[in-house]
Amino acid sequence: MEDKKVEIPPYFLCPISLEIMKDPVTVCTGITYDRESIEKWIFSGNKRAEAVCPVTRQPIPNGELIPNHTLRRLIQSWCAANAAAGVERFPTPRAPLDSAAVARLLDEARNPSTKLTALRKLRSLAMDSERNRRCLQSANTADFILSQIRASLNPNPNSPATEEEEALGVLLAMQISAQVLAELAARNDDIADLLTSVLRLWSCQSRACAVVILRYLFEAVSPARLCAVKEELFEELVKVMKDRISSNATKAALRAIAAACPWGRNRVKAAAAGAVPVIVEILLEDSDRRTSEFALVVLEKLCACAEGRAALLAHAGGLAVVEKRMIRVSPLATDRAVKIMTYVAKLSATGQVLQEMVQVGAVAKLCLVAMHESSTSKAKERAVGILRLHAKAWSKSPCVPHHLLSFYPSH
């Protein structure tokens, strides 16, 4: 609008964004803002105990916003009057979502004839704004969705699969915070079992949604609840990675397993579910940096247990792919790869394993890590520790390049 030399009345501008207001609302302090701007301010990640007016710094109780219909009509009239100059008229804004509207939609979602339409509307509303997501959360929409998942575990043959997908889509679109997720899990003890059933029985799209929800759930709930996760859930997460549903689903499955495996019991469950060989195959086939990082993070956790190391060593390409990812991916990948080699070298170092580490180039890569400027101090320390630990076995090996021998620890 500045290019058209149209002068905008200053009281049409939002004090936060300094742009013309599309949906002006007034707070209790008397200051008017554009709804989108003030809602971003109120619902930002600042985690204020109470929202405050950006201009006056006075509290805004309950974040209450009053539509300024008079100013909105003035702005729309001004836009219409300046249409010839290229000013676009803003459409009349929709009424903000409230608890009564959510209750009506939830009632419609209980009716088989209107269920799909209502679920799609709920999902659209959740994707629209943070205010809508908070309104849906306060109406216990997530608990309702879980009840719908329970009811769908014995699906009606006449019920379209899209209803199940939309229900999960609503839950995912709500972007539930860690605190609210933990509270949701406390109210629904069977949430992990429900999502396991989704992974086992439902469509690929539903499985992709479920695994993302599980990732956020595992990052939010208590250690005690995580330790109670069943091996069947790890089996389904492994199947998601094996089936390669999507790149995002693979990453989410890796992050879910990583979140569940700070404790030995879950590491054993994941290893028993076949996670290690599938992760090795991902590293062999997928060149995406983030996927490689997530895969190495999980592999490092699993190699902390004997079952995980045994599975890595049993795979023909296990040590080789860790060696391949040790350099030139990222500092995080280097750290995790070196730590995996540390577990192997300290806890599973048979003569055959030591020989294989030389043959696949792992020893040479450890020398490079020890001398490389981009390596972290911790990675260098671990690499040197491994080389010193097995100096007698490796120092005379013809597989260690001659130009690296000078960097090999002599004791």
Interval 183-228: pLDDT, tens: 999 999 899 999 999 998 888 888 999 999 999 999 999 888 888 8
In a domain, 277, yes or no: no
Mean pLDDT of 154-170: 71
Res. 150: pLDDT tops 70: yes
Res. 398: pLDDT tops 70: no
Q: What is the mean pLDDT of the chain?
A: 87
pLDDT for 49 = 46
Bigger pLDDT: 160 or 228? 228
pLDDT digits (tens, 9 = 90+) for 68-124: 989 998 998 888 888 888 788 888 777 778 889 999 999 999 999 999 999 999 999
pLDDT digits (tens, 9 = 90+) for 41-84: 887 654 444 678 888 888 887 777 888 989 998 998 888 888 88
Res. 405: pLDDT tops 60: no
Mean pLDDT of 348-362: 92
Q: Which range of residues forms the domain containing residue 60? A: 2-85
pLDDT digits (tens, 9 = 90+) for 236-285: 999 999 999 899 999 999 999 999 998 779 999 999 999 999 999 999 99
In a domain, 17, yes or no: yes
pLDDT for 4 = 52
pLDDT for 2 = 46
In a domain, 136, yes or no: no
pTM of the entire predicted model: 0.78
Domains: count for the chain: 1
Bigger pLDDT: 402 or 47? 402
pLDDT for 47 = 44
Check which CATH number belongs to the domain holding 70 and give it. 3.30.40.10
In a domain, 146, yes or no: no
Bigger pLDDT: 130 or 311? 311
Mean pLDDT of 353-368: 90
Mean pLDDT of 309-318: 96
- pLDDT band at residue 329 using 50, 70 and 90 as cut-offs: confident
In a domain, 180, yes or no: no
Quote the percentage of the chain above a pLDDT of 70: 91
Q: Range with the lowest mean pLDDT among 24-38, 152-166, 372-386?
A: 152-166
pLDDT for 258 = 95
In a domain, 99, yes or no: no
Mean pLDDT of 302-317: 96
In a domain, 42, yes or no: yes
| CA gap 214, 64 in Å, rounded | 34
Q: Range with the lowest mean pLDDT among 115-119, 262-266, 302-306, 339-343?
A: 262-266
Quote the percentage of the chain above a pLDDT of 90: 50
In a domain, 380, yes or no: no
